[in-house]
Structure 1
Amino acid sequence: MIRVSLLVFVILTPDNMTRSGSLKLLNTVRDVTKTVSNQLKSTIDKTVDRLSEVTSQDPDVSSILKGPGEYVRSYGYDYHEFNVTTKDGVILSVFRVSSGFDFIANPPHQGPGFFLANMGYDVYLPNTRGNKFSSCSESTHKHFYYSSFMEMAEYDLPAIIDAILSRTGFTKLHIIGHSRGTTVTFAMLASKPEYNKKIRLFTALAPVVYPDLSPAWSILQSIMHELKGVMDCIGYSRNRIFDSSKVNDLSFGLMNPLVCSIGGGVLCSAMLNVGMNPKLLRNVEHPRLNSSRARVYAVNTPAGSTVQDFVHFFQVIQTEKFAKFDYDDKPACYPVDKTNQIVYGQSTPPEYKLENINVPLVVFHSKDDTFAGPDGVAKLRQKVGKLVVNGGWYYIEKSKWLHLDYLWAMDAVQLVYLNVLRHLRESDKLEDGHVRDLDELFALYQTDTKNYISLI
């Protein structure tokens, strides 16, 4: 079966098959997919029943399934949720913790969202198109899922920023971005310079602008064009992907509370570790993730994305250019009638002009991060290094500190967020009062981190 799948990808290359032949084969693939789906339905139904039993045993999982608000309030925090409508009509949910889900998945003493709320900040957790907390009208967005971080930077983040500033009356805010959140923010600031004046400080955790990939991920990159062609023609690209709450999604079989209850969550933690860096099987030797929270992570992780977003990332890797989406490099079944000339007025997608950015910057990165690796981060520094505030470039030397550790590591507050807080306070020039004294913070949170962080 595996060989057949690989053959499909090889056969679909333009050099080996005509378009009509490709469509005939893809129709066969579609029929096979439908048959397999029917056979799996009864198995999935039984899995869902068992899943309900497991989730009822963990109060955090049960509350999260009812919604982020139920979960946040269960820890005694105020919670508000509101919708933001972008200029092109997409509706996005924004979560406010008085004081996206990944930042609050750990309990208050470990979760960065809760930590910053404790320090006196109102924390807004935005969502972007493609994930489970976004929606649209099918009549106005027929091709809603044919979007990437380009649309998020063009429409989503600007709308969210404007909505928050309007609701609060402030003229500026802080942005703390992780992974794709940094991608979207850099793209927005580069392409919409007017938003630079609305950002007081941008903290980039594991910035993914020039992504580095391990050899294991590079294999996927090598077949991405053919893979997207298959997904387009069987309809997979027209739906949200990597949504662990959908029983017909591949990620559901890998990340759901039932699977993550096995072995006290060790299995799911191991899968997350391997996904972040296949070379580093660290779960037993370096248990940085809290395995007991694995079922909680699995409820909303992953929360969904689009095929086109992944294609766009691999385009950046292949071309080594942080540029807008290439509409001319698309498969035969791509339904959107767009070309680079139509959209951009030129034959190639324009690069994002990072020189347009004029926002104070703080950066955190680590040596073992597969996606924000040393080479890519070094290239980013050449572009935006002059924006980094004094002492604001952090290199985490701690062994096997991976991409998701910024969000979920049990020592993330000590290694990362105490330093984030320093720069927030310096930027705001706040008086001690409604923000707790830093000496008291260190007494509560600090561990010996001096050997693991370098100020470069």
Structure 2
Amino acid sequence: MGERTTENMSLMFVLVTLLYSTPTSCFTFHKENNACPRLLEYPVKAFSPHCYVNPNVLSSTPEMIKQNGYKCGTYKVVSEDGYTSLIFRVLPQEDDGGEKGQPIVLDHGVQVNSAAWTWMGNRSLAFVLARAGYDVWLANQRDSGYTTHIKYKTSDYRFWTTTLDDVASYEVPAILKTIASETNKSGSIIYIGHSRGTVLGFMYASEYPDEAQKYLRGVVALAPAVYLEFSFFFKIVFYVAAIILRKIPVINYPDILTKKFYQILCTNLPHVCMLIIYAASGSASQFLPDDLLAFYSIFPLSLSTMHFIQLFQIYRTGRFQKYDYGKKQNILKYGQAEPPLYHLSNVKLPVYLFYGKRDVYMKKKTVKRTFEEIGSSEKEYFSVPIGNDDPKLQFGHNDFISSRYIEELLYQDLLKVLNKLKPKE
């Protein structure tokens, strides 16, 4: 019995030695492997010959920018209500001091930050635009993890009691002023938003139309979330969540614990993580398995509950309006019982809307309503992919930042639209 045990231990020793020493072209053992081409390989990614290291997993936005061959410019943006946010600029490694291209600012959706535009490496919009010659700036909203406050810590209740109206009134203009000052190209900046980022852009452009025209050349909205239309399942979920969360200032804080949890969950139960992506996006058919752990490095982050409630309020009332504090508080704050409306008719900038037919948060009729209310004479809206009715290729909500086919199905047409927004001579 003792000899057999010794023999088994010797054999195990040989196998383990082989696992660690065999060249990478054969059978390797890498604990850091974090990208796999098939979901079934994630539970065995440590020794799968097909899995590999994706440096973007658990990296910050500046790290991703540098890892993908660019320099990262970091700027502090101070809003009038006391928040200081970092925004990032994608710069070429060799700065020849020459004229930089037209500035574009990318603004992210809920429970992600600026990494939404960098996490896919070369397929990321930030780098596609940089290669196309644009001067790319990445915004971070105040619940992004890149923000501090002059009085409150992120652990304080008051840090999170901020509405979409506050971000649109204070943060968005502060970002645009910074970009205009640094580039000396006021009036030629293009604003591209995804989901919540589109809402903020339209709030700002409708509330301050003259200022918006001073800074911006146009607005491009990816998955425009102004008017929402949920499936039955999401109606129930959002109604219940809106009631439960009213007394909680922030969802998913601190998000570092969630990141660690999802890295473990997605490694061991990758199909569960894919179901979550399906639920959040409306479609997971275009999601690349290799991107799983990278995606769960940037999602889900913390979210101000008031942002969630306001988005749900807009859906429930069917009105694009400011935050509803209740009748008494509304009178004190707004001078009227009902929250004031945002009038999209005030938006005079060129506007281009891109939506997906498989988006679980909106339908063609809600996008069309947004389109019709916008006051600009230069406006268009498109279903992605444009001119292609293949059901399998229709975009869901998060396909605008995660589709494996994003270059062919979105970027080619997006770049054509951006050409229309070249600075006026």
Unaligned ranges ≥5, structure 1: 1-51, 330-337, 432-456
- C-alpha distance in structure 2 between counterparts of 1:65 and 1:366, whole Å: 28
Closer, same or farther in 2 for the Cα pair 1:162/1:294, shift >3 Å? same
Give the aligned partner of residue 75 of structure 1: 68
Give the aligned partner of residue 261 of structure 1: 267
State the one-letter code of the partner of 1:312: Q
Give the aligned partner of residue 382 of structure 2: 394
Closer, same or farther in 2 for the Cα pair 1:143/1:70, shift >3 Å? same
1:232-280, CA deviations, whole angstroms, 9 ceiling, x for partnerless residues? 1xxx32xx42468332x5x764xx22222346x5542332112222xx5
- Would you say 1:128 and 2:121 are equivalent positions? no
Closer, same or farther in 2 for the Cα pair 1:139/1:242, shift >3 Å? closer
- Would you say 1:103 and 2:117 are equivalent positions? yes
- C-alpha distance in structure 2 between counterparts of 1:260 and 1:222, whole Å: 28
Give the aligned partner of residue 313 of structure 2: 315
- C-alpha distance in structure 2 between counterparts of 1:305 and 1:145, whole Å: 8
| Higher alpha-carbon deviation: 408-417 or 183-192 | 408-417
- C-alpha distance in structure 2 between counterparts of 1:404 and 1:70, whole Å: 23
Closer, same or farther in 2 for the Cα pair 1:398/1:129, shift >3 Å? farther
Give the aligned partner of residue 88 of structure 1: 81
Instruction: Report how many aligned residue pairs link the two structures.
Output: 349
- C-alpha distance in structure 2 between counterparts of 1:343 and 1:171, whole Å: 32
Q: How does 1:19-34 map to 2 (within 5 A)?
A: none
Closer, same or farther in 2 for the Cα pair 1:307/1:358, shift >3 Å? same
CA contact (8 A) 2:79 2:170 kept: yes
Q: Which has the larger radius of gyration?
A: 2
- C-alpha distance in structure 2 between counterparts of 1:152 and 1:174, whole Å: 18
| Higher alpha-carbon deviation: 161-170 or 144-153 | 144-153
- Would you say 1:273 and 2:278 are equivalent positions? yes
CA contact (8 A) 1:245 1:299 kept: no
Give the aligned partner of residue 175 of structure 2: 160
Unaligned ranges ≥5, structure 2: 1-30, 36-45, 47-51, 93-113
- CA offset at residue 118 of structure 1? 0.6
Q: Percent identity?
A: 24
- CA offset at residue 427 of structure 1? 2.0
- CA offset at residue 85 of structure 1? 0.7
Closer, same or farther in 2 for the Cα pair 1:340/1:213, shift >3 Å? same
- C-alpha distance in structure 2 between counterparts of 1:354 and 1:212, whole Å: 18
Give the aligned partner of residue 203 of structure 1: 220
- Would you say 1:364 and 2:380 are equivalent positions? no
State the one-letter code of the partner of 1:361: V
Decide which of 332, 339, 350 is 1:342's aligned counterpart. Answer: 332
- CA offset at residue 426 of structure 1? 2.6
State the one-letter code of the partner of 1:355: S
State the one-letter code of the partner of 1:353: H
> After the TM superposition, which segments of 4 or more aligned residues of structure 1 sit over 3 Å from their partners?
52-61, 63-66, 137-142, 242-245, 385-389
Decide which of 201, 213, 218 is 2:235's aligned counterpart. Answer: 218
- C-alpha distance in structure 1 between counterparts of 2:245 and 2:302, whole Å: 17
CA contact (8 A) 2:168 2:204 kept: yes
- C-alpha distance in structure 1 between counterparts of 2:373 and 2:280, whole Å: 29
CA contact (8 A) 1:54 1:258 kept: no
Closer, same or farther in 2 for the Cα pair 1:121/1:225, shift >3 Å? closer
- CA offset at residue 117 of structure 1? 0.8
Decide which of 144, 157, 164 is 1:149's aligned counterpart. Answer: 164
- Would you say 1:418 and 2:423 are equivalent positions? no
State the one-letter code of the partner of 1:339: Q
- CA offset at residue 384 of structure 1? 1.6
- CA offset at residue 71 of structure 1? 2.0
Which SS does the other structure have where 2:158 is aligned? coil
CA contact (8 A) 2:58 2:294 kept: no
CA contact (8 A) 1:257 1:298 kept: yes
TM-score calculated relative to the size of structure 2: 0.75
Which SS does the other structure have where 2:354 is aligned? strand
State the one-letter code of the partner of 1:289: F
CA contact (8 A) 1:55 1:258 kept: no
- C-alpha distance in structure 2 between counterparts of 1:306 and 1:272, whole Å: 21
- C-alpha distance in structure 2 between counterparts of 1:325 and 1:429, whole Å: 35
TM-score calculated relative to the size of structure 1: 0.71
CA contact (8 A) 1:204 1:364 kept: yes
Which SS does the other structure have where 1:79 is aligned? strand
- C-alpha distance in structure 2 between counterparts of 1:131 and 1:146, whole Å: 14
- Would you say 1:190 and 2:206 are equivalent positions? yes
1:12-33, CA deviations, whole angstroms, 9 ceiling, x for partnerless residues? xxxxxxxxxxxxxxxxxxxxxx
| Higher alpha-carbon deviation: 184-193 or 395-404 | 395-404
State the one-letter code of the partner of 1:258: I
1:362-402, CA deviations, whole angstroms, 9 ceiling, x for partnerless residues? 1111211111322211211220275444xx42112442420
Which SS does the other structure have where 1:312 is aligned? helix
- C-alpha distance in structure 1 between counterparts of 2:375 and 2:346, whole Å: 13
CA contact (8 A) 1:244 1:300 kept: no
Give the aligned partner of residue 326 of structure 1: 324
Closer, same or farther in 2 for the Cα pair 1:70/1:59, shift >3 Å? farther
Which SS does the other structure have where 2:381 is aligned? strand
- C-alpha distance in structure 2 between counterparts of 1:380 and 1:81, whole Å: 34
